[in-house]
Amino acid sequence: MAARDGWLVVVDPQVVFADPGASPWGSPMFAGAVGRMRELAAAFGPERTVVTRFVADPSLGGSWGPYYAEWPFALVPDADPLYAVVPELDGVAGHVVTAGTFGKWPVLRDLVGSDAHVTVAGVATDCCVVSTVLPMADAGVTVVVDGPACAGSTPENHERALAAMALFAPQVTVA
């Protein structure tokens, strides 16, 4: 299942995205995908698994100002329980990286390298996952998106995002 020299990146498996009752960003698909995320993490092992975390960073400026004006609930500190990794995945990764942007490539680049083979899982397929995968592929990373280990904002948006990422073959493979 896991390439010996590959990495697993689990994008933003946090309460804010996992629980529709905890936030308007919660994916109704997360409960169905988290078991597959755990399986992948076990196969890759903690030393080759990275969990990313999104946290609000209103200091970014630009379009982030209006974004947070629309989503003020998210303007809580990094340590707020809303931004915690879900209990099912807490501790599975040997590496945890945090960023205030949808895409996580800038905080992953030095860890995994631009010639890496990376399997990606996480939430939301149609936001943070696609925003991470496409810059990775553009940088030369070989990416496998594990569809069953991803959760979208809706099933339709999930499928659209998987289809969009599949357009980037052979750099991106959707499995």
Tens-digit pLDDT profile for residues 131-157: 999 999 999 999 999 999 999 999 999
At residue 175, the 3 state secondary structure works out as: coil
Task: Report how far apart, in Å, the C-alpha atoms of 100 and of each of 1, 60, 91 are.
Answer: 31, 8, 21
pLDDT 10s digits, 43-99:
999 999 999 999 999 899 999 999 999 999 999 999 999 999 999 999 999 999 999
What per-residue confidence (pLDDT) applies to 2? 47
* CA angle, 174 then 40 then 156, to 5°: 40
What is the helix (H) or strand (E) element at residue 161, kind and residue range? helix 155-166
Read off the pTM: 0.96
**79, 41 in Cβ contact below 8 A?**
no
pLDDT 10s digits, 93-137:
999 999 999 999 999 999 999 899 999 999 999 999 999 999 999
How many other β-carbons are positioned within 10 Å of the β-carbon of residue 168? Answer: 17
Band of residue 1 on the pLDDT scale cut at 50, 70, 90: very low
